[in-house]
Amino acid sequence: MQKIINDPDLVVEEMVEGFVKAHSDLISPTDNERVLKYKHAPVKGKVGIVTGGGSGHKPAFSGYLGKNMVDAVAVGEIFSSPPAMMFYDAIKAADGGKGVAVLYGNYAGDNMNVKMAIEMLEDDGIEVKTVVANDDVPSAPKSEIEKRRGVAGEILMWKVGGAKAAMGASLDEVIAAAQKSIDNTRSIGVGLSPCTLPQVGHPNFEIEPGKMEMGIGHHGEPGTEVVDLAPASIIAEKMTQMVLDDLPFETGDDVVVLVSGLGATPYLEQYIYFNEVEKILSAKGLNIHKSYVGDYFTSLDMQGVTLTLLKLDDELKNCIDYECNSIALKQFSP
Amino acid sequence: MQKIINDPDLVVEEMVEGFVKAHSDLISPTDNERVLKYKHAPVKGKVGIVTGGGSGHKPAFSGYLGKNMVDAVAVGEIFSSPPAMMFYDAIKAADGGKGVAVLYGNYAGDNMNVKMAIEMLEDDGIEVKTVVANDDVPSAPKSEIEKRRGVAGEILMWKVGGAKAAMGASLDEVIAAAQKSIDNTRSIGVGLSPCTLPQVGHPNFEIEPGKMEMGIGHHGEPGTEVVDLAPASIIAEKMTQMVLDDLPFETGDDVVVLVSGLGATPYLEQYIYFNEVEKILSAKGLNIHKSYVGDYFTSLDMQGVTLTLLKLDDELKNCIDYECNSIALKQFSP
Amino acid sequence: MSGFSNDSGKKIVDNIIQVIQENRQYLSDIDGKIGDGDHGINMSKGFTLCQQELESNPGNMSHGFGVLSKILMTKIGGSMGPLYGMFFKALSKESEGEPEINEAVVRGMFNGAVNKLSVISPAKKGDKTLMDALLPALDALNNSLDGGDGLTIALKNMKKAAESGRDKTIGMQAKLGRSARLGERSIGVLDAGATSCALILGTFADTATDLIN
Amino acid sequence: MSGFSNDSGKKIVDNIIQVIQENRQYLSDIDGKIGDGDHGINMSKGFTLCQQELESNPGNMSHGFGVLSKILMTKIGGSMGPLYGMFFKALSKESEGEPEINEAVVRGMFNGAVNKLSVISPAKKGDKTLMDALLPALDALNNSLDGGDGLTIALKNMKKAAESGRDKTIGMQAKLGRSARLGERSIGVLDAGATSCALILGTFADTATDLIN
Ligand SMILES: Nc1ncnc2c1ncn2[C@@H]1O[C@H](COP(=O)(O)OP(=O)(O)O)[C@@H](O)[C@H]1O
Ligand SMILES: Nc1ncnc2c1ncn2[C@@H]1O[C@H](COP(=O)(O)OP(=O)(O)O)[C@@H](O)[C@H]1O
Ligand SMILES: [Mg+2]
Ligand SMILES: [Mg+2]
Ligand SMILES: [Mg+2]
Ligand SMILES: [Mg+2]
């Protein structure tokens, strides 16, 4: 296992330690060592934005802590939902008196732990509402859309929720905008190699050289098919089509495109892939309002990319364009 | 070769195409398809900042195009210096009437091509000066410091030069600040795997599992020693010590720390590594003024990290803290 | 004698911790086939933290299960934190204050555990989860005790039912958790949670039997 | 006859392009041992672009070398763009306007090439660069012509000297370019630039000889 680590069982602890030191200009630790917050959180009179999930997805989740973005994050073990107590503490750390929006991804563990955290909060007098991201198209058929996993579309959900909250919206308005954002978001991933959990020391599954796995999940959950590795143009064609058909996206739509590497895919390849996606979208007459290309939501050292499309209306556009200053996503007002 | 590409011989063309489309809010193409510029370059009355080099280092070089950063970039083939004509065109694209600072890395090809570009410019009436980055400690002994390669320290050189130019400085002042920045910068890299040139299709060298190569270069240039892979704490200790001793950095110094992944190293590991570096610097009584951790200067799909330290004075501090808005480096005023 | 003291029952907690530690790799490997390969890691980490806390803060069986539950809920997360957290919380609560752990207490403990779990998990029999070890085990325990078998025999039946329930998960298609997304491809291998659950129930039964004899 | 026409000499350009294309992988493999493994790729790309341009814009030998030079300098970069760019620029300039390529012209071409290269590269004999094929080749050409050997024999000697110069780079330690940083570890393998240079000089010699005969 070619990894720069110390004790494999302590990777999350040490990563969090390094992360807090590296970004002390933007984030602070809290009494719960696994809960990190935006330095100025809780922001008085602003709806708090909370998320969280298993580790191994850097810069998600804590890389999105910051101004007009996420206020507090619960940091789980590698690929494992944070315990209820962490979500509880994160919600408390984010509460500025106007309620807290917990915007997270649809995984069994996260669902249970957030649910329990909210129960634990019953006596604290904090109003909490949730949006559960389910943007990963291949993870379940449209007829069971509520079973779909949340993937990189979560970033746009946080961006929208964070901007809306910063604009002074109420908890219900923030929740409605974040929900609208995820309802208009569709994602799909492709894997070209497995990933290795540091504590396990070897990959948990195989993708043979010369093959790729379409629809792979953020933790290596198996996709819809394993096929021969194809040129970027064919990969992009397949993935873009699945995403376009599902919402569906239509000619004239304004969209955000987010291409994220899965951890071990060089930017070179990500831009070549994006180039192909852009050609397809342009040919279909979609307007790309904003593009993101980079390692935004990863799966340890997996090779591959995810594609995320968000269909915009005016409200979502304002939120996407809104200034923000988090670690992994910084935007000046256009 | 598990890569998301089309024709291996066209990776740079297609990458540039995708890059330009993805970041049209910040950059523009020029008449030379291999020269990219900041959208608002040339900025009238501002010293132009130019760099360039071989491809495969994304986000370097073109990821640093932007406001108060680099004005124009010459984009070479993978790991191959751009031809003289590209540097020539980049310099012309950056010229706002106040001269152009070409801030690049110390490689034979770049040296020759920049030299020839400047000769070609003789009749154009543009004042051009250069700073050649040589921050890579293990690439040559201190007695032959002028032979050292330029690596991730170049980013800080661009940051300083870009900020200085934005503040209204003259060409000589920009050059002096950039030179001071690189003179006070020291870097070192470690490789845990080779990288694969897409056109070659297999790695050009081997790093056996269980081994690591200390002092490896940004193109896989062999390092100073191949040793058993060690815990992050030991790797950090070795590298930090070499960098500290060389300048030398001393107790009380204010420093910038930049840890960059080499392309296939997850952020998880980069933060664990940074955590160890920070402990050593703190123990030595250095003050970390600012930290950067992420894929800032990569080598295709190599596994490994580079460590860069910059010793600050007040002028450099102001430049490092200065607002900038490039693709890969965005900073709000503190 | 048909029971054991709550104090001596701490041995049950110790042995459960030990069996999970010993099966760390095995449980992860099973989880790796149709999940994300961390079940053994998660479980072992939580149970080891509990072991450490119990060293400085020892107590009887109810206390041990209480500590385990608290640690799973505050430190472990995943699916297992809340699920086993609730499970051990019930084992603790239902035996708390009982100096003697007899038939009635044991029955209350496991019936309580299943009730607690049902509150947070929608898992039914056949969904390929730990419930597929737990539910048949509880039925066997209840039936055996109803039939007048006595605690040691009932525990033996509980263990046997948990293990055969675990083995039946091989033929099942996962309906919940990460593996559910695999559809038919989840058939053919053990469920990790059912495997750890059978280990826990089996260790409970064996150790309690030793304590009774 | 002791020369060939500039027009027929276009065959030399064609053959040089072909030999570089054929050795794309070989040159990259050599470069991969102590460099970054792209020498064949860079060279082949430039020479192929030249081939394409010459298809739509054909001409004599001087024209061909001129196009090659321009493309290397504007499109190829690396170290090879400027180095071979200068090299072929001299081959073009020194033969331009000469209908007949005879002893004197060939002598002028290669002496000019070395002079041009020296302007931009500090490489000396023994530094393990293309100069280690080129400099002995030039010496052999000059000596042979001085000794009255005639052009075909002189070209044969030039080729032989280039190849033995190339082979001697195996024992050299690189002093310039990427491999220089390897120190003693650069000893033991061929230099990529010297290898391509020997191919180019050899192809020049062979083709010119065919044209003369
Ligand atoms: N909703 C659920 N109800 C009951 N058991 C579940 C549920 N979801 C998952 N499980 C159990 O959890 C096990 C996996 O646990 P573990 O690997 O520790 O967590 P994770 O799936 O978060 O990685 C599965 O084998 C299954 O038995
Ligand atoms: N300064 C120099 N002068 C002469 N030849 C050089 C110099 N630097 C490098 N070379 C030659 O260049 C060759 C490598 O060329 P190539 O691989 O195409 O370029 P790069 O080193 O940029 O990847 C070396 O084998 C050597 O012969
Ligand atoms: Mg897990
Ligand atoms: Mg090269
Ligand atoms: Mg698991
Ligand atoms: Mg090379």
Query: Tens digits of per-residue pLDDT, B312-334?
Result: 999 999 999 999 999 999 999 98
Chains touching chain A, criterion 3+ CB pairs below 8 Å: B, C
**Considering CB atoms only, which of C77, C82, C83 is closest to A77?**
C77
CB within 8 Å: A221 and C76: no
Mean pLDDT across D21-27:
96
Contact: chain A with chain C (3+ CB pairs below 8 Å): yes
Chains touching chain C, criterion 3+ CB pairs below 8 Å: A
Mean pLDDT across A76-87:
92
Which one from B40, B202, B219, B289 is the annotated catalytic residue? B219
Which of D 1-30 lie inside 8 A of B, CB atoms? 28
Tens digits of residue pLDDT in A267-286: 999 999 999 999 999 999 99
pLDDT at residue A5 greater than cutoff 90: yes
Q: What is the pLDDT of residue A89?
A: 97
**Which pLDDT band, with edges at 50, 70 and 90, does A197 fall under?**
confident
* D36 close contact with B: CB closer than 8 A: yes
Pair A78, A199: CB distance under 8 Å: yes
Surface-to-core class of residue D149, CB atoms within 10 Å of its CB (0-12 exposed, 13-18 middle, 19+ buried): middle
Chains touching chain B, criterion 3+ CB pairs below 8 Å: A, D
Chain C interface, best mutation among A78, A204, A226, A300, by max C CB count within 10 A: A204
pLDDT at residue D94 greater than cutoff 80: yes
**Which pLDDT band, with edges at 50, 70 and 90, does B192 fall under?**
very high
Q: Whole-angstrom Cα distance, residue D85 to residue D69?
A: 4
Chain B interface, best mutation among D27, D28, D36, D129, by max B CB count within 10 A: D36
Q: Would you call A219 a catalytic residue per the annotation? A: yes
Q: What is the pLDDT of residue A221?
A: 85
Residues contacting residue B292 through CB under 8 Å, at least 6 positions apart:
A22, B155, B256, B257, B258, B259, B260, B329
Distances (CA, A) of B238 to A8, A17, A22, B295, D193: 21, 21, 20, 21, 35
CB within 8 Å: B76 and D37: no
Q: What is the pLDDT of residue D42?
A: 85
Q: What is the pLDDT of residue A123?
A: 84
Neighbours of ion ligand 5 (CB under 5 A): C 31, 35-36, 38-39
Atom of ligand 1 nearest to the CA of C38: 17
Q: What is the pLDDT of residue C74?
A: 86
Q: What is the pLDDT of residue C180?
A: 76
Tens digits of residue pLDDT in D109-142: 999 999 989 878 889 999 999 999 999 999 999 9
Tens digits of residue pLDDT in B308-317: 999 999 999 9
Give me the interface pTM, i.e. the ipTM: 0.85
Mean pLDDT across A168-195:
97
pLDDT at residue C178 greater than cutoff 80: no
Mean pLDDT across A110-135:
92
Mean pLDDT across A62-66:
98
**Considering CB atoms only, which of A22, A298, A334 is closest to B271?**
A22
Tokens 């250069």 correspond to: B130
Q: Whose CA is nearest to atom 16 of ligand 2?
A: D39
Q: What is the pLDDT of residue C181?
A: 64
Choice among A40-49, A229-238, C36-45 with the minimum mean pLDDT: C36-45
Q: What is the pLDDT of residue A254?
A: 98
Give kind and range of the element (H or E) at residue A3: none
Which one from B23, B57, B218, B289 is the annotated catalytic residue? B57
pLDDT at residue B263 greater than cutoff 60: yes
pLDDT at residue C177 greater than cutoff 90: no
**For chain C, what is the HEC assignment?**
CCCEECCCCHHHHHHHHHHHHHCHHHHHHHHHHHCCCCHHHHHHHHHHHHHHHHHHCCCCHHHHHHHHHHHHHHHHCCCHHHHHHHHHHHHHHCCCCCCEECHHHHHHHHHHHHHHHHHHCCCCCCCCCCHHHHHHHHHHHHHHHHCCCCHHHHHHHHHHHHHHHHHHHHHCCCCCCHHHHHHHHHCCCCCHHHHHHHHHHHHHHHHHHHHHC
Q: What is the pLDDT of residue C41?
A: 86
CA of A194 to the centre of ligand 5 (A): 15
Write down how long chain D is: 213
Q: Would you call B219 a catalytic residue per the annotation? A: yes
CB within 8 Å: A112 and C75: no
Q: What is the pLDDT of residue D165?
A: 98
Average pLDDT score over chain A: 95
Mean pLDDT across C158-175:
97
Tens digits of residue pLDDT in B29-48: 999 999 999 999 999 999 99
pTM for the complete prediction?
A: 0.89
DSSP B35: E
Q: What is the pLDDT of residue B204?
A: 66
Phi/psi zone of residue B38: left (φ > 0), alpha (ψ -120 to 50 degrees), beta?
A: beta
Higher pLDDT, A7 or D77: A7
Mean pLDDT across C110-126:
91
CA of B205 to the centre of ligand 6 (A): 13
Pair B143, B298: CB distance under 8 Å: no
**Which pLDDT band, with edges at 50, 70 and 90, does C122 fall under?**
confident
Chain D interface, best mutation among B112, B149, B225, by max D CB count within 10 A: B112
pLDDT at residue C1 greater than cutoff 60: no
Q: What is the pLDDT of residue C42?
A: 85
Tens digits of residue pLDDT in B223-234: 889 999 999 999
* D121 close contact with B: CB closer than 8 A: yes
Query: Which of C129, C181, C189 has the most ligand 1 atoms within 8 A of CB, as the residue to mutate?
Result: C129
* Neighboring chain B residues of A304 at a CB cutoff of 8 Å: 4
* D52 close contact with B: CB closer than 8 A: no
Q: What is the pLDDT of residue A204?
A: 66
Q: What is the pLDDT of residue C73?
A: 87
> Which residues have any ligand 1 atom within 6 Å of their CB?
A 80-81, 108-109; C 31, 35-36, 38-39, 42, 78-80, 83, 121, 123, 129-131, 176-178, 191-194
pLDDT at residue D14 greater than cutoff 60: yes
Atom of ligand 2 nearest to the CA of D193: 27
Atom of ligand 1 nearest to the CA of A81: 22
Rg (CA), chain C: 16
* D75 close contact with B: CB closer than 8 A: yes
Mean pLDDT across B90-108:
97
pLDDT at residue D185 greater than cutoff 90: no
